[in-house]
Chain A
Amino acid sequence: MSGPHRPAQLRSGRDTGPEADPVLVEIVAGYLASVEMQVETAIGRTSRSPMIRDAHDYRAGIHDRRLRKLTGRSYSALVHPVVRDFPIETMRPGDVFFHNDVYLSEGGIGHLPDLCVTAPVFVEDRVVAFVQAFGHHDDIGGAVPGSMPSGATSVFEEGLMVPPIRLWDRGVPNKAALRIMTRNSRMPESLAADLDAECSACLMGARRMAELFERYGTPTVEACFQAILDQTTETFRREVLSRIPVGTYTFEDYAEHDGVDPPRLHTQRISLTRTSAGDPDGERLVLDFAGTGPQARGPINHCGDYADGNFLKKWLAPVLRNLADTPERMAQLDVNEGVVPLIEMRFPPPGTLLTPVFPAPTNARTFVILRLLGVLAGALAKAVDGRVPADQETIRYTGVYGTGLDGAPYLMREVLGGGSGGRYYADGEDTVHVVPDSRNLPTEFSESRFPFVVERLGLAVDSGGAGRHRGGLGYEKHLRMLADAHFMSIADRSILSCWGVRGGRAGRPFQVTVDPGGPGEREVDALADAEPVRAGEVIRIRTTGGGGWGDPLTRPYDEVVRDVLWGKVSRTGAREDYGTVVTGPGDDPRVHVEESDHLRASMRAGRGDQPFFDRGPGYATLSGGATSAEVDWL
């Protein structure tokens, strides 16, 4: 980028100050978004790990020299640990830093397979910003292929820990470090390739960022950064904070198992306080995690209590966007460092699920951090009369591995989405994934690479929670193995369900069955490292349905009939969940209005007081018989 001409309004637009010109702010924001997209595109196109390539489990972020995240499409890791170990003034052009060590990441990295690369941006010899990316690599060593041992009891079983290191020193890669890393992976080629992809992409992004600084000068660009963050703060204050009545709202939800101990309720709890304008520390949201359960023996812990919860604040803030006026507006709200001043976090003392003590295992920490999105949504629901989406659960890993027909070992792992929750303005969506742009594996790809036939790629009928607005459906996928193999699964919500709200019912949980309807029919635990499956057997995977929103007995008959026509709700489901009697042939279902009216009336009469949240039948199994929790009532 060159050219001596500076935009006219930089000189003439004095009335708002020459530096935070609203035109230039818009230009810089567009530039940041385009650099972020370029870095992500380059990584996506060149990486090898299916987790990065297909599941899109990688993110780029641009941070200023004060370590504040400027871009807002997604979460990203933190620069704090790099700067902690390598003071900014010691960095040199051509340096690239690397880390994946959870406990030394200041909470920015959740598990070891997330390989994080950081490239400083230089103007002359001074660091002015950072471009960072992390991606979920397939294997970084440890007890099991894929580095996500569900029965791990310490981080030492989970793979190689690398604290922040200078991976490239002034343009020269540290070959020893690369050898150590690749030597510790079961997939050294793709590990090396993924690192190449991340380093090259970050360096490219750093070059483009340097051009921006060179063009406008550091003070002007930094003034724009400040303006971008200030705008986010103001937007969230205006469109989110103002919608929450002053008060405290508490909700909790649970992981159901940790891979080591028998299933039980692992509580995650948020007390959300919206302070008043008169509060000495100002208007803000206080998230107090008191009441969160003790650190698990298995790997579902998340290191949250670092850097004042900086990572978690940006991780959870996207849920707040559901309070904006319309879905279109929600999508426009960026979450960058600007949300941080509006959120205060209070963590329980060390030794809980959110404050684990080294070396507690963490590889399945999605059980906690993804659940926390829903816990916050539940607390918000209580504050705003339920006008937030019902619960969704969208991360689980399923896969098979073994020796292929060609004699070579393989590992197939897929992140299958689930249904999203019903919303006050729409049904939940089927088979979506919380990670943006995450993709499933085409049958034509996976059959050509792995020894199985995908006999069915469908939706799990009746899995969406009933409601005025139905929850989205989960997958029903059938793999018929062509060779003996092992099945693996890392999933929660196989006993508990995604909750419904404001009269909406819970969705159906995750379930894996081998040889359904056959002589060897058996259910597989949702946390399974190595379930043997024989050639010819079918593995049936059903993923979670989203919770329903609002009373299902108020769902218009024509919507229920359409769901029956589309095979999303069975006729039995229509009758039992929606009080709707459907008649007529399979491709021309019709409602029997009179019978249905009658049925709905008797169903209404027969039900007593209902809690604000419905957790589904699995809750009683783990709660000792209670059908609802105390926090489920308004």
Chain B
Amino acid sequence: MSGRTRIGIDTGGTFTDVVAVDEDTGEVVATKTPSTPADPSLAFMAGIRKVLDLLGLDGEAVTAVSHGTTVATNQLLEGRVGELGLITNEGYEFLLEIARQSVPDGYGNSYFWVKPDRIVPVDRVRTVGGRMAFDGSQIRPFDEAQAVEVARWYRARGIDTIGVCFLHSYVDDRHERAMREVLAREHPGAVVSISSEVLREYREYERAVTTLVDAAVKPGIRRYVSAIAARLATLHDSSATTTPGTPSRARTGPDGVPFYVMRSNGGVGSAQEVVDQPITTVLSGPAAGALGAAVVAEAAGFSQVVTLDGGGTSTDVTVVVDGRPALTTEGSIGAYPSKIPMIDVVSVGAGGGSVAWLSPEGTLKVGPHSAGADPGPMCYGTGGDRPTVTDAHVLLARIPPHLLGGEVPLDVDLASRGIHTLAAELRLAPEACAAGILEVSAWNQANALRQVTVRRGLDVRDFTLVTFGGSGSLLACRLVDILGLQGVLVPRDPGNVSAYGLLTVDVRNDYVQTAVTRASALEPVRLQAWYDGLTARADAALAREGFPDQERVFVRTADLRYFGQAYEVRVDVPAGRLTAELGASVADAFHDQHRALYGYDNRRDPRQEVEWVNLRVTGIGPIRRPAPRRVPSGAGAVRARTGSRRVYFDDWVRTDVYDRARLGAGDEVDGPAVLEEFSSTVPVHPGFRARVDEQGNLVVRRST
């Protein structure tokens, strides 16, 4: 190691994973430390010290830290939004109660559906006079006196986290800015989010909720980021300066270590940008995993991949096209919709702890209930009394009778007892029952993989699957068969993919502007002005983060639809001056994309006009990625063989077991086989072959 190192650190439910890369040699070192949910910054610092000790370096060597956090995610998943206030237009105090009037799921459910609690109860919603129109003109002026009253009302009640959402503020934000000024004056202690800064997009209900989510996570993220920044500052003494030529420019303080936080959109932002728009971190953790998997896959020569991150309670899947994870603006975290761009993660309740049960209809169900880590699967022997996916793996001997390289022993008898009981109820043989549990679990995962691809008009058979996380690779061979995939890539250190991903991520800031215009009325000059405005904002942010002019990259996109449609399709807007021709080429790209997604387009139908809806600019500050890791050539898999045991695939069969860490590049293992490593296991089914590539990844494919 040269003494200059960049660190990626990912906080998970159980472990905090740390990966360090040498800035000069590209050498990578990984470790993990137990998470500290009560104060995640403790494990954060413990992890940094641990990796520095491994490297024999001190804090001076750290050039930058990138972090994937679940602070905002967990807060939302647990519904801890605190006492919020909402300020909106006169006449709209019931905006949240009414929402979009939709009842989820089936027909007739309106009879028995119980609406979840609103993010702000109506008595904490206050309204202020004044009204903008959709074209940016003012119907009634802002009622300053009423605004003052409202601000004082909140102050008197000690409600100090407030969202502001006024109609049409995505076109003209003057009333929202005025409201914020009044709040700053009358209720200076309040944390405020205004909708025109969070999301400049039409649809008032969704924008209001997104703004409130931003406000709700703001205090927690601020506290957390400043706690970390303070601790990071102790790594460098006051005379330290940033080494020139490194990508680390975002400063947490005059002399702190540059600190980046992973955002939901697949980029990182400097601590300062993130604190101002904390909603951009709600999917920080899963985004890092998808990014890491995408980078590993691309280095291995796969640019079209679906990633599968298998944990204890759930499995997250994403789709990666041309090396970039797909984004969505229709995501939600727990009960809260968020219209902010985020990596399109489909999460299914199909993890190692998912419980197998008999439905009243007599079919075998798996999940979404999970035994979690506590009480855990039956085989943990910690009080779990319902059979889980892990118990099925244990019974079939697909995994060894212990976890984490032997640290945690598993009780095969307990697992077997649970599966036998369920098998008797289903009138199946125990092995058939266990295989059935895994089969249903695999199909649950397969349906999620299909969902992420199909909704983008992609055929999953064109993709390679990248599996990681503790339980991610266990069903990989079945997924290849069920979905007809090309194969599976299992990265090295599958438990560390997210932390590794953090080292590979560019700074990304997104800006959007709704500008509904039919193609026939398109004014290139006006459009150019919109884009210039967005680009200027993106440019200023990158400048603040220390990227020199020539390194800043801007990507323009637009959301288009056919006039009358309610949903848009996003297409690239190539660089260059906006002209009628450029506009036409964007419309062409839209027709293509619409056909790809939905099977038809209206290109040749002059009556079906194209409409521009949202203009978007992403500002990117590129970060140098670590060089791909390499492993030495192997001398035949047999050297990594550690023994054999009977494993049930289609039947019980004597199966060789290998220590993955001892396999070298080019080594091949034919199924049936089980490859074991510290934090994960890869069962290779009969008819499959696993090959180690030059970077140490396993590539598993059908051999027959």
Contacts and interface: CB of A to CB of B under 8 A. Distances in A.
B455 A41 contact: yes
B270 to A, nearest CB: 32
Contact of B111 (A34, A188, A421, A447): A421
B483 A433 contact: no
A397 to B, nearest CB: 14
A548 B432 CA distance: 51
B565 A48 contact: yes
Contacts of B429: 12-13, 15
A429 interface: yes
Interface residues of A, number: 109
A9 B107 contact: no
Contacts of A23: 363-364, 436, 439-440
Interface string A409-445: 0000000110011010110011111111111101111
A263 interface: no
Interface string A43-85: 0111111000110100100000000000011110000000000
Contacts of A189: 564, 605, 607-608
A327 B113 contact: yes
Contacts of A404: none
A565 B685 CA distance: 63
Interface in A435-464: 435-440, 442-445, 447-448, 453-459
A196 B600 contact: yes
A442 B99 CA distance: 10
Contacts of B100: 439-440
A25 interface: yes
Interface stretch (B7-15, B197-205, B246-254, B276-284): B197-205
B103 A436 contact: yes
A7 B435 contact: yes
A5 interface: yes
Interface stretch (A231-239, A253-261, A512-520): A231-239
Interface in B404-459: 426-429, 431-432, 435-436, 439-440, 443-444, 447, 450-451, 454-455
A41 B426 CA distance: 35
Contacts of B361: 231-232, 234-235
B629 interface: no
A459 B94 contact: yes
B470 to A, nearest CB: 24
Interface string B561-582: 0111111000000000000000
Contacts of A522: none
A431 B454 contact: no
B628 to A, nearest CB: 31
A394 interface: yes
Interface stretch (A289-297, A315-323, A353-361): A315-323
Nearest to A333: B106
B454 to A, nearest CB: 6
A46 B598 contact: yes
Interface stretch (A197-205, A340-348, A625-633): A197-205
A163 interface: no
Given A13-B429, A392-B110, A458 B91 contact: yes
A21 B436 CA distance: 10
A442 B208 CA distance: 12
Contacts of B598: 42, 45-46, 197, 200-201
Residue of A49, A193, A426, A433 with most partner-chain B CB within 10 A: A193
Contacts of B607: 188-189, 192
B239 to A, nearest CB: 54
A133 B474 CA distance: 38
B447 A322 contact: no
A53 B563 CA distance: 12
Given A2-B484, A3-B484, A34-B447, A475 B98 contact: yes
Nearest to B650: A8
B139 A453 contact: yes
Contacts of B426: 16, 22
A618 interface: no
Contacts of A46: 565, 567, 594, 598
B91 A435 contact: no
B430 to A, nearest CB: 11
Interface in A10-47: 11-13, 15-16, 21-23, 25-27, 29-31, 34, 38, 41-42, 44-47
A431 B139 CA distance: 28
A389 B107 contact: no
B101 A13 contact: no
Residue of A192, A204, A373, A420 with most partner-chain B CB within 10 A: A420
Given A200-B600, A457-B95, A53 B566 contact: yes
Given A34-B450, A203-B599, A458-B92, A429 B435 contact: no
Contacts of A201: 598-599
B101 A416 contact: yes
A2 B485 CA distance: 9
Interface string B358-373: 0011111100000000
B639 to A, nearest CB: 30
A232 to B, nearest CB: 8
B114 interface: yes
Given A193-B608, A445-B202, A417 B484 contact: no
A457 B101 contact: no
B123 A565 contact: yes
A365 interface: no
B168 interface: yes
Contacts of A433: 101-103, 110
A579 to B, nearest CB: 23
Given A22-B364, A231-B361, A429-B115, A442 B205 contact: yes
A25 B363 contact: yes
Contacts of B383: none
A195 to B, nearest CB: 11
B105 interface: yes
A26 to B, nearest CB: 5
A478 interface: yes
A444 B97 contact: no
Contacts of A389: 111-112
Contact of B363 (A192, A231, A444, A457): A231
Contact of B98 (A75, A190, A444, A459): A459
Contacts of B108: 318-319, 321, 335, 373, 434
A442 B432 contact: no
Contacts of A49: 564
Contacts of B135: 448
A102 interface: no
Given A392-B111, A566-B122, A453 B203 contact: no
B649 interface: yes
A444 B102 contact: no
Residue of A5, A54, A377, A442 with most partner-chain B CB within 10 A: A5
B550 interface: no
Given A15-B427, A238-B360, A475-B98, A437 B104 contact: yes
Given A7-B435, A8-B649, A423 B112 contact: yes
A420 B93 contact: no
A190 B566 CA distance: 12
15 contacts: A1-B461, A12-B431, A29-B363, A30-B447, A34-B447, A189-B564, A189-B605, A231-B361, A234-B362, A335-B108, A420-B110, A423-B111, A429-B110, A431-B101, A440-B101
Given A12-B650, A437-B104, A458-B98, 10 more contacts: A3-B483, A8-B651, A9-B436, A193-B564, A196-B602, A321-B108, A327-B112, A377-B111, A453-B139, A459-B98
Q: Which 10 pairs between the two chains have the least Cβ-Cβ distance?
A: A318-B108, A48-B564, A456-B91, A23-B436, A3-B481, A231-B361, A74-B107, A2-B484, A448-B134, A200-B599
Interface of B: 91-95, 97-98, 100-115, 121-123, 131, 133-135, 139, 153, 167-168, 170, 202-205, 360-365, 426-429, 431-432, 435-436, 439-440, 443-444, 447, 450-451, 454-455, 461, 478, 480-484, 516, 562-567, 594, 598-600, 602, 605, 607-608, 649-651, 685, 687
